Amino acid sequence: MKKFLIVVGVIIGLLLIVGYVFRGVLQMAVMFYTMRPDAGFAETAPPEEPDYAIAASWAALPGRDDLADRVPIENTATLQSDAEVDVFYVHPTTLLGGAGWNQSLDDENTNRRTDYTTILGQASAFNACCRVYAPRYRQATLLSFFSPQGDGGEALELAYRDVARAFRFYVNHYNNGRPFILAGHSQGGFHLDTLLSNEIAGTPLEAKLVVAYPIGYYIDNSNGIPVCGSAEQTGCQATWNTLSLDARAGGAKDSICVNPLNWSASGLHAGFDENVGAVSFRREQGTEGNYPTIEPGVVDAQCSDGALRISEIRSENYDGYFMTEGNYHIYDYSFFYMNIRENAVVRSKAYLATK
């Protein structure tokens, strides 16, 4: 009996060790299982198409009180009403599972998640320079990115069609010939890459593009838009994917990486002192009068092999990761929030100065 208990103890110990070593893989397996839609894309009726003439089809609109109006600094008002530039922002994936491959705009839980995470924590970075337009769209579920040749690819294509229609509606009904910024993250960056290729590059709209930030997706420079090489350059694109020094990159070594601390694509290291402020909005801070903590110097950054590498995190407020350790995808905006906010203003002023 004693030997049996020892054997059982050894087996349990080994299982615990294996579970710890492969915890990321196990977590991903469980997550994928819970996210899988009930049927294939072809067997699932798509949600109703959004009508972008209806305000409810937008997560953020200028002139309306929404979470894109929130500011990180007390006694600083949103400047949207006086802005001479617009931003068209496409949110990342917030549909984590469900019966279908694409979100219904009637899904209030997902809409709330979108608003209190991405509109509050990302789109708000642009209210110092711009009027903010952020469409809701039939986003593809997170699992779509792991089956891009099958059901996931079809779900992503449906989502892109909504983004393209929303952008055309914005151009035809809201823009009135104004310069604009394109911004997004993750799935939003993925769709912006296609939008830049299909709707911007080589068209009259390219002359109105201040800058594009298709952040959080590995893209090359095939969409026809130049890569930004300085903080003041306009008509260019800047993107990055944040990882630790030893984390494995998910894209090619020649993926675009522009360092948001020095706005260089050359691989020049930027120290902690160049980070003017990480910002992490929380849900309870999503009401007027509550402000997040701005933390300068939380991370350094350097582009290497197509990814943005950080050496350490000097804050206890950023202790998560995306799927695997060292993947700081969820903080692509948060780590560099104030640098992004300032840069959008700098590029907008540089663009307006030439007109």
pLDDT of residue 41: 65
pLDDT over threshold 90, residue 282: no
Distance between first and last Cα of the chain: 86
Calpha distance 89→192 (Å, rounded): 9
Q: Are 302 and 273 in contact (CB under 8 A)?
A: no
Give 123's DSSP letter: G
Which residue(s) pair with 167 in the sheet? none
pLDDT of residue 347: 98
How is residue 180 written in tokens?
Answer: 């604009």
Q: What phi and psi, each to the nearest 5 degrees, are found at residue 81?
A: -65, -30
What percent of the chain is modeled with pLDDT above 70? 84
Conformational region of residue 252, where left means phi above 0, alpha means psi within -120 to 50, and beta covers everything else: beta
How is residue 8 written in tokens?
Answer: 């059982």
How is residue 281 written in tokens?
Answer: 């909005």
H-helix segments, the chain: 2-21, 23-35, 108-113, 120-121, 151-170, 187-195, 337-353
Which residues are within 8 A (CB) of 135 and not within 5 positions of it... i.e. 6 or more apart?
50, 52, 57, 58, 59, 88, 90, 162, 163, 166, 167, 170
In this predicted model, what pLDDT tens digit does every residue of 93-128 receive, in sequence order? Answer: 999 877 788 999 999 999 999 999 999 999 999 999
In this predicted model, what pLDDT tens digit does every residue of 305-342 receive, in sequence order? Answer: 999 999 999 999 898 887 788 999 999 999 999 999 99
Q: In this structure, which amino acid lies at residue 36? A: R
Q: What phi and psi, each to the nearest 5 degrees, are found at residue 68?
A: -75, -10
Q: How far is CA 294 from CA 118, 261, 275, 303, 337, in A?
A: 17, 15, 11, 24, 9
Q: Are strands 294-295 and 278-279 parallel, antiparallel or unpaired?
A: antiparallel
pTM of the model: 0.88
In this predicted model, what pLDDT tens digit does every residue of 164-204 receive, in sequence order? Answer: 999 999 999 999 999 999 999 999 999 999 999 999 999 99
Could you tell me the pLDDT band of residue 19, with boundaries at 50, 70 and 90? very low
pLDDT of residue 8: 37
What average pLDDT does this structure show over 64-73? 88
Which residues are within 8 A (CB) of 88 and not within 5 positions of it... i.e. 6 or more apart?
133, 134, 135, 167, 170, 180, 181, 182, 183
DSSP per residue, 134-169: EE---PBPGGGGG-TTTHHHHHHHHHHHHHHHHHHH
Largest CA distance in the chain: 86
Give 261's DSSP letter: T
Q: Are 127 and 279 in contact (CB under 8 A)?
A: no
